[in-house]
Chain A
């Protein structure tokens, strides 16, 4: 079954009914938008259950198991509870900004769903600036949290707001550099085109085999972008209570919560699209519906890794985290970008280029790890220095 053919036959049916062309287009858009919206919301409900189940298993618990089979209905019960809870707005809060913040948080995360290709050409908006679209609307999320932090008029919330700026803005740079390197390799910012370029049998064409260090860079930075442990300092319960969303309750809190889970899902989906071939898989070219299946399978495996890391690692200190971004990840990203650019311009045959890219990536990854390792070893002898704030290596 071809999904595009289905859509086209639907358009033809509407046109046959004598509806003018403009209206057909509009109906098409509204239906497409509603489809993406429903997918996003169902995903959010499912992801909450999925993550809680994973966290439970990792920590030797059962996770939700009371409501429905395997606790599958649990998120619906939670949603119902949150819908009917009393909503408290602090008297001192700046009301307009306070109410606008969760709306923008949901808005930005839903927008990101538009450019993710679920299968070949099965994508909300197949635009040529897909990667920039991700960066643009991703940045709106930072703003929503800043608004929440400021408008609550609460010291913890404001402190959380400052951490948002520091963390999310900083880690946007390594994420951007990783995306930039992939874009350079493919020569396109269209996410569908990038996924298309990773064909080959048994996933041999995936960019993760060519650019492993870039994937590691993306993954580590994405952990921070998704506010996940070990980088969850925005809402470190034991330090700043809950950070920017401390004063939020009921549905407004639920929107932040939903944005958090969907954000991780989008980050996993982008990782899959950029590095793991997106919807590519055996027979996906012949049978597009299989592409959707492969895509979701890969994304859920990726999401599992994110949840696994979150359930396993302890939290970093904020100064360690900032140093790690600017002094390790950003130089590493720039080095990778330059190295990949130079290797691509050498003009070698494509197999040799790919092999050389792989070697360069591994070398840079290990060089970074070695420098970091040496530095931490140094520190264990020198107690005056702060751990994990690497100084410029002497050249």
Chain B
């Protein structure tokens, strides 16, 4: 059963990956190629580009990715729990609630520290 399903996924993954490559190669054959330096320069609202594009950004943005990672892991723990939910007892539910509450403390901490503000 597992082999049946994942074999299809494997075959499809190869096809889905090759398909855009093949079409891109095909358009490379038929499209016009008349490039010039001006055309290939970086776009910046029609004016000359100022400085390098890879500039320093504020680390504030990083915090969102960080909080996301923590909640993502939480989801990985809770999905098997949800699947097993009908089979487990009341005590297990209490444990899961404690688990969620500990993470909720993290969310509230981030909230208090203004880590959830986009500035």
- A residues near B (Cβ < 8 Å) are 25-26, 29-30, 32-34, 36-37, 83-92, 99, 102-103, 106-107, 110-111, 114, 124-127, 131-132, 135, 152-158, 162, 165-166, 169-170, 172-173, 176-177, 180-181, 183-184, 187-189, 241, 246-247, 250-252, 255, 318-319, 321-323, 326-327, 330-331, 334, 337-338, 341-342, 344-345, 389, 392
Contact = CB atoms under 8 A, between A and B. Distances in A.
A176 B8 CA distance: 25
Given A90-B42, A132-B79, A34 B15 contact: yes
Contacts of B27: 83-84, 87, 250-251
Contact of A327 (B33, B61, B111): B111
Interface of B: 4-13, 15-17, 19-21, 23-24, 26-28, 30-35, 37, 39-45, 52-55, 57, 61, 64-65, 67-68, 71-72, 75, 78-79, 82-86, 90, 93, 96-97, 100, 104, 107-108, 110-112, 116-119
B28 A87 contact: yes
- Main SS of chain A's interface residues? helix
B53 A158 contact: yes
A124 B117 CA distance: 41
A154 B41 CA distance: 10
B86 A187 contact: yes
Contact of B12 (A124, A132, A338): A124
Given A34-B15, A111-B13, A319-B117, A251 B83 contact: no
A255 B17 CA distance: 12
B8 A32 contact: yes
A180 B79 contact: yes
A180 B42 contact: no
Nearest to A341: B93
Nearest to B76: A132
7 contacts: A29-B12, A30-B15, A88-B40, A158-B53, A183-B83, A338-B97, A341-B93
A33 B65 CA distance: 34
A86 B32 contact: yes
Contacts of A344: 85
A89 B53 CA distance: 15
Given A110-B19, A114-B8, A341-B96, A154 B42 contact: yes
A29 B16 contact: no
Given A87-B28, A125-B6, A165-B65, A153 B118 contact: no
B68 A103 contact: no
Contacts of B82: 180-181, 183-184, 187
A240 to B, nearest CB: 11
A158 B55 CA distance: 9
Contact of B8 (A29, A83, A172): A29
Given A135-B75, A158-B54, A331-B107, A90 B40 contact: yes
B107 A326 contact: yes
Contacts of A84: 27, 30-32
B100 A87 contact: no
A379 to B, nearest CB: 15
Given A29-B11, A36-B12, A183-B83, A165 B53 contact: no
Contacts of B85: 184, 187, 341, 344
A260 B106 CA distance: 33
B79 A327 contact: no
Given A29-B7, A124-B8, A392-B108, A37 B19 contact: yes
A83 B68 CA distance: 38
Nearest to B66: A169
B114 to A, nearest CB: 9
A388 to B, nearest CB: 11
Contact of B117 (A32, A157, A158, A323): A323
Given A110-B16, A255-B20, A33 B8 contact: yes
Nearest to B82: A184
A135 B71 CA distance: 13
A327 B31 CA distance: 49
B44 A154 contact: yes
A155 B53 contact: yes
